[in-house]
Amino acid sequence: MSFVLGTAVPDRNLALELVRATEAAAIRASDFIGLGDKNAADGAAVDAMRAFLGTVAFRGTVVIGEGEKDHAPMLFNGEVVGTGDGPECDIAVDPIDGTALTAAGRPNAISMIAASDRGTMLDASSVFYMDKIVTGPAGVDIVDIRRPIGDNLRALAKASGKKVGDLAVGVLDRPRHEGLVADIRAAGAGVRLLLDGDVGGGIAAASLDGDLDMCVGVGGSPEGVATACAVKALGGLIQGRLAPRDDTEREKGEAAGLLFDHVYEADELVRGENTFFVATGVTDGALLEGCASSGR
């Protein structure tokens, strides 16, 4: 199963072709579900997506290519895909968001592509991690990543007409988030630990019918930019602060023109309104049925 989210899709045919690219990647990756080899799954999905993108009538520049931080197979940053005809676009790709989920046969792995007009997508590739917060429309102008998480939860609950105890907050299950998880629970909200795939978590938080009210914590910068395309289409809130791992990475980011101690808003992560996000389920999940289950 697939979906398309867009603020203003400039070329419907292009959007449908990119859906087919994610379907090609998801179908190929489905052969590796539960086999325990995430790199083999990712490599197969990358090859399938790259091959299909080569047939699409556009000139797409990969601004965000997943895989670099863990030496996995990837569509690399700066790679140009498509036939060269048609619109010029920035694209963020992740042939599998949730490689570990795929390898383990767990839910919520997706294949995704985000696209925007050429030159509008933030290139944060020199800094691999970003501290992010995502909510649905109720959080706009209410939630702020600079505030303590407890304050944000109480503000979101009030704006949503809920009790704090009714809120579900997605957080990647990583040791770095132990303090954050404790603070969320101390505020009275429930935590949903995400094993992998924070793009899906962000979309679930931004969607009115998603199973999360907020997604928060440090995840990939590429995922943050891709998620921003979907969140803009959904009318939700996303904010991000770059989280360099060391001084060397910070220096690389500064040389690339990135801002630190700065909160990137949605319109800074992806400028303009011609943005869209397409995804296909690899394994069954809350957002999408997996391609194997749907018979694709």
Within 8 A by CB and 6+ apart from 17, the residues are 56, 57, 58
Please check the confidence at residue 294 and state whether its pLDDT lies above 60: no
Name the β-bridge partners of 27: none
Give the other-Cβ count within 10 Å of 80's Cβ: 12
User: How much is the average pLDDT of 273-293?
Assistant: 85
pLDDT tens digits for 220-253?
Answer: 988 899 999 999 989 999 999 999 999 999 999 9
C-alpha to C-alpha distance for 115 and 230, rounded to whole angstroms: 10
Residue 234 exposed, middle or buried by CB count within 10 Å (0-12, 13-18, 19+):
buried
pLDDT in tens, 173-191: 999 999 999 999 999 999 9
pLDDT at 283: 94
Residue 208: band (very low, low, confident or very high) from pLDDT cuts 50, 70, 90 = confident
- Residues sharing a CB contact under 8 Å with residue 106, sequence separation 6 or more, in sequence order: 98, 100, 195, 196, 283
Greater confidence (234 vs 13) lies with: 234
Is residue 88 over pLDDT 90? yes
pLDDT tens digits, one per residue of 106-150: 998 999 999 999 999 998 888 999 999 999 999 999 999 999 999
Q: What is the pLDDT of residue 74?
A: 67
Percent of the chain at pLDDT > 90 equals 73
Q: Is 194's pLDDT higher than 70?
A: yes
Q: What share of the chain is helix, strand, coil (3-state, %, to 5)?
A: 40, 25, 35
Which pLDDT value is given to residue 115?
A: 92
Tokens at 204, concatenated: 């679930």
| pLDDT category of residue 79 using cuts at 50, 70 and 90 | confident
* Whole-number pLDDT of residue 272: 78
- Span 14-36, average pLDDT: 94
Q: For position 245, what pLDDT does the model report?
A: 95
Report residue 291's pLDDT band, with 50, 70 and 90 as the boundaries: confident
pLDDT at 157: 98
- Per residue in 31-71, pLDDT (tens digit) is 999 999 998 999 999 999 999 999 999 999 998 875 444 45
Rg of the chain, C-alpha, whole Å? 18
| Chain-centre distance for alpha carbon 154 | 25
Q: What is the reported pLDDT for 209?
A: 84
11, pLDDT greater than 70: no
